[in-house]
Amino acid sequence: MTGDFVQLPVPIIQQLYHWDCGLACSRMVLRYLGQLDDGEFESALQELRLTRSIWTIDLAYLMRHFGSFYRKHFDTEETRVNQLFAEAKACKVLVEKCTVSVQDIQAHLAQGHVAIVLVNSGVLHCDLCSSPVKYCCFAPSGHRCFCRTPDYQGHFIVLRGYNRATGCIFYNNPAYADRMCSTSVSNFEEARTSYGTDEDILFVYLDS
């Protein structure tokens, strides 16, 4: 699966709350990999103590629980998250602090793999949707949205392909239940490198 056009059949699963976009993305990925069992997924959430504060490293441990693994860049001062990083190697969760290019991402997708990316949804614009959905899911707790800055609206999406000819990226936005989204490479780059995202990306593979 190489070339100038990739569109992986990643199922769309809509998030239920303002805070669970990362979990919805995880469900999409696991279903794509043929590993989603709702009962086991709920058990994993309890075992990993995942509640309304979901960080990228939490999703990495969740993927590892189901036999997949990832690579990412992440930087935070949260005690719990730092502990997860400290224990990552022992838990066989691969963490790398590096710069990932669009070419790296496209090469990953061309192999049939997917990625979960933290973006600023206030910047990300779908060319196929009539109006943007405003979501701020990267919230610490509670029912309200507490963004780091008024301009930052953290949101997880699943990358599922690209078209080199038109210069676009295909992705699933868990804010929707019925569509695949598409944006330009330049807009995707702006959204994923915005202040607040820390350029977090999980490269997910089917464990071989």
Sign of the CA dihedral 129, 156, 5, 8? negative
The answer to which of 11-20, 61-70, 80-89 has the lowest mean pLDDT is: 80-89
- On the question of pLDDT at 51 being above 90, the answer is no
Kindly report, residue by residue over 168-206, the tens digit of the pLDDT.
999 999 999 999 999 999 999 999 999 888 888 988 886
Kindly report, residue by residue over 117-165, the tens digit of the pLDDT.
999 988 999 999 876 665 555 443 333 444 445 577 889 999 999 999 9
135 touches 143 (CB < 8 A): no
- On the question of pLDDT at 66 being above 60, the answer is yes
Q: What is the pLDDT of residue 162?
A: 97
The answer to which of 30-34, 47-51, 59-63, 82-86 has the lowest mean pLDDT is: 82-86
Kindly report, residue by residue over 91-121, the tens digit of the pLDDT.
555 555 557 899 999 999 999 999 999 999 8
- Cα separation, 83 vs 126, in Å, equals 36
- Cα separation, 54 vs 72, in Å, equals 16
| Chain mean position to CA 205 | 13
